[in-house]
Amino acid sequence: MIKKMKIWQMPLMVVCLVGFQLYSDVVFAHGERAQQAGIRMRTMYWWDVDVSPTKVKVGELVTITGKFMPSSFWPEHLASSEVASFMNIGVPGPAFLRMHSHVNGTPMVRSTRFYRGKEYHFKVVLKARQGGEYHVHPVVSVKDAGPIIASGVWITVEGERPDDFKNEVETLMGDTIDLEHYGMQEIIWFNAFWFAVGVAWLGFWFIRKDPVLLRRYTFIAEHGEAEAGSLISVKDMVVSAAFFGLTMVAIVAGYMWANAKYPNTTPLQTGKVVTNEIPQQGDVLDVVVSNAVYHIPGRAFNFDITVTNKGDSPLRVGDFATAGVRFVNADVLTVKPIDKSDPVSPAGLIVTGPAVQPGETRTLRVSANDALWEKYRLTSLIYDPDSRFGGMLFFYDDEGNRYYSEVGGVMIPDFQNVE
């Protein structure tokens, strides 16, 4: 019987519902806010991520491109991307088919190694499989460390998957098969068989007159495990042996049947591929970070950089990227967020100091100020036992050419107001 709600419970329920509505956008994210700030800031840097198009129909293709770099400040307690990594796409459920995946032009059908401080370009082609709206993320899965997630982009897929939707591939034997339905009949029969065996096994123990679990547990608790043998009858042993024999026969018969029907098979490939090298950025500038402070009341991250310009053109700081969040200097760039969830602050970067001239060494104050620090839970770094940050600074010359430099160091929290 359902009890009536008490009067004092009604305001509490209203507060919970309102809070859910206000903060429900958090659940739309695909995990990029859940990871620790220190992990997101010091593992993988992502930039130039592009998804095209963002509105497709079922069966149409979506291309995702971008760049990433494993951080030189990779946490020591975390497994490294140089051991084993895999380029992937994170999306809720089987909404897309991955048609192609490349990093630096190398097909990513296996895992590889991504070395710290090196730039990598990726391209993934997806085919829309199921209608809906999906938050899609580039992901690098690192062995023993888990997925390192980039910021996501919303993709709208119109229509529903038709019954004749196909995912056809050609095998090494020259046969064309549809992976949507291939082997489905065998899968159903095998699962139904083992489900029936499991139900029969449990049924044997639960149809007995004496309760199976609670009474036996109480008996052992009172008399000790040494007396547990007295609970097993000859009938129990005979039935158990029969089930064991049936299981062994089913396994052997299934192996023989599969070997006869599919004589030509290839084992799952576990080796690593070697990713192609691409030209890295030349020695254009040196950047040294000092005095990095996060001002908690003002949600402002300030740090000083000493820049040496080794190029031929003046350089200005255009944006700062960390943990998938981008702070832009509006005096240098005009950037608009891709969608409602794009973590970009179009005017969140303030740089104090003029452009760095060729051959000049100059100290600049960089301030990244925006509520994104709180929204993306990056302020939790101040409670980390290793409060170090990492990120990418992008510099631009007068012709729009871009140069990057990885920066990082110790972040000191400041609980006073920003001066």
Report the CATH number at residue 29: 2.60.120.570
pLDDT at residue 186, rounded to an integer: 92
Number of C-beta neighbours around residue 75 at 10 A: 19
235 within a domain of the structure (yes/no): yes
Question: Is a pLDDT exceeding 80 seen at residue 89?
Answer: yes
Are 68 and 81 within 8 A, CB to CB? no
Q: Is the pLDDT of residue 26 over 70?
A: no
Tell me: the pLDDT tens digits for 268-302? 888 899 999 999 888 899 999 988 998 887 788 99
Contact between residue 345 and residue 372 where contact means Cβ atoms under 8 Å apart? yes
Of 172, 195, 221, the last residue of a domain is 172
C-alpha pair distances (Å), 185 with each of 19, 181, 191, 192, 258: 47, 8, 10, 11, 13
Q: Which CATH number do you get for residue 311?
A: 2.60.40.1580
Let me know whether 114 and 222 are in one domain: no
Predicted pLDDT at 374: 87
- What is the count of structural domains for the chain? 3
Beta bridge partners of 23: none
Residue matched to tokens 């030209």: 279
Domain limits at 289? 285-414
Res. 221 pLDDT band, cuts 50 70 90: confident
Does the bond joining 53 to the residue before it have cis omega, within 30 degrees of 0? yes
pTM score, whole prediction: 0.81
Q: What are phi and psi of 157, to 5 degrees?
A: -110, 120
Q: Are residues 145 and 249 in the same domain?
A: no
Instruction: With CA atoms as reference, report the closest residue to 108 among 160, 68, 48, 51.
Output: 68
Q: Positive or negative, the Cα torsion across 409, 415, 418, 419?
A: negative
Helices (H) and strands (E) in the chain, counts: 7, 21
pLDDT reading at 205 higher than 90: no
| Cα–Cα nearest to 290, from 274, 306, 313 | 306
Q: Are 68 and 216 members of one domain? A: no
Q: Give the pLDDT confidence score for residue 213 in this predicted structure.
A: 62
Band (12; pLDDT cuts 50, 70, 90): low
Query: Does residue 1 belong to any structural domain of this protein?
Result: no
Dump pLDDT digits (tens) for 294-305.
888 778 899 999
Q: How far is CA 264 from CA 201, 267, 408, in A?
A: 35, 10, 52
Q: How many CA atoms lie within 13 A of 334 on its CB side?
A: 0
Q: Where in 248-384 does DSSP place strands (E)?
A: 285-295, 300-309, 316-322, 325-328, 344-345, 349-352, 361-369
Q: Are residues 100 and 197 in the same domain?
A: no
Between CA 417 and CA 300 the distance in angstroms is 10
**Any domain includes 178:** no
Same domain, residue pair 71 and 92: yes
* pLDDT tens digits for range 358-394: 999 999 999 999 989 988 888 888 777 878 899 999 9
User: Strand, coil or helix: what is 77?
Assistant: coil
Alpha helices in 344-418 (DSSP H): 372-375
Calpha distance 353→366 (Å, rounded):
9
